[in-house]
Chain A
Amino acid sequence: MADKKLSESEIERIEQEYRDWLDEYQKAVQKVPERLERFSTVSDMETKPIYTPLDLKDKDYARDIAMPGQYPFTRGVQPTMYRARLWTMRMFAGLGSAKDTNKRFHYLINHGETGLSTAFDFPTLMGYDTDSPLARGECGMCGVAIDTLEDMSQLFDGINLEEVTTSMTINPPASIVWAMYIANAEKQGFHRGKLGGTIQNDCLKEFIAQKTLMLPPEPSLRLVTDTVEFGTREVPRWNTISISGYHIREAGATAVQELAFTIYDGITYVEEAVKRGLDVDDFAGRLSFFWNSHIDFFEEIAKMRASRRLWARLMKERFKAKKSRSMLMRFHTQTAGCSLTAQEPYNNIIRTTTEALAAILGGTQSLHTNSLDEVYMIPTESAVLIALRTQQILAEETGAANVIDPLAGSYFVEALTDRMEEEAMAYINKIDELGGMVAAIERDYPQMEIADAAYHFQQQVERGEKVIIGINKYPSERPSLDICEIDSELERLQIERLHRFKENRDKNRFQKAMDDLRRRCEGPPCWENNAMPALVEAVGAGATEQECCDLFREVFGTYTDPGSF
Chain B
Amino acid sequence: MVAMSEEKKVRILIAKPGLDGHDRGARIIARVLRDAGFEVIYTGCHQTPEQIVSAALQEDVDLIGLSILSGAHMYSFPRVMELLKERNAEDIAVIGGGIFPLDDIPKLKEAGIKEIFEPGAKLDDIVQWVSRNVVPREAMAV
Contact = CB atoms under 8 A, between A and B. Distances in A.
B and A form one assembly: yes
B75 A122 contact: no
Contacts of B137: none
Contact of A480 (B74, B102, B122): B102
A451 B27 contact: yes
Contacts of B101: 376-377, 483
A455 B24 CA distance: 9
B18 to A, nearest CB: 6
A206 to B, nearest CB: 8
B118 A478 contact: yes
The bracket for how many chain A residues form the interface is 35 or more
Contacts of B118: 342, 478
Contacts of A562: 44
Contact of A376 (B23, B24, B99, B122): B99
Contacts of B75: 136-138
Interface string A371-403: 000011100000000000000000000000000
A134 B43 CA distance: 17
B123 A462 contact: yes
A462 B76 CA distance: 30
B21 A211 contact: yes
Contacts of B72: 122, 136-138, 141
Contacts of A565: 26-28, 30-31, 42
Given A122-B20, A138-B70, A252-B24, A451 B76 contact: no
Contacts of A210: 21
A123 interface: yes
Nearest to B14: A565
Contacts of B24: 250-252, 338, 454
A123 B31 contact: no
Given A122-B19, A141-B72, A560 B46 contact: yes
Nearest to B76: A137
Interface string B6-39: 0000000000001111111011101100000000
Contact of B71 (A134, A377, A458): A377
A138 B70 CA distance: 7
B44 to A, nearest CB: 3
A135 B27 contact: no
A451 B30 CA distance: 11
Interface in A336-367: 338, 341-343
A126 interface: yes
10 contacts: A122-B18, A141-B70, A210-B21, A251-B24, A342-B99, A375-B119, A377-B71, A468-B120, A560-B44, A565-B31
Interface of A: 122-123, 125-126, 128, 134-138, 141-142, 210-213, 250-252, 338, 341-343, 375-377, 451, 454-455, 458-459, 462, 468, 470-471, 478, 480, 483, 486, 560-565
Given A211-B21, A561-B23, A564-B27, 16 more contacts: A123-B19, A136-B72, A138-B75, A142-B70, A342-B99, A342-B118, A454-B24, A455-B31, A458-B123, A462-B123, A470-B120, A480-B102, A560-B46, A561-B44, A561-B45, A563-B44
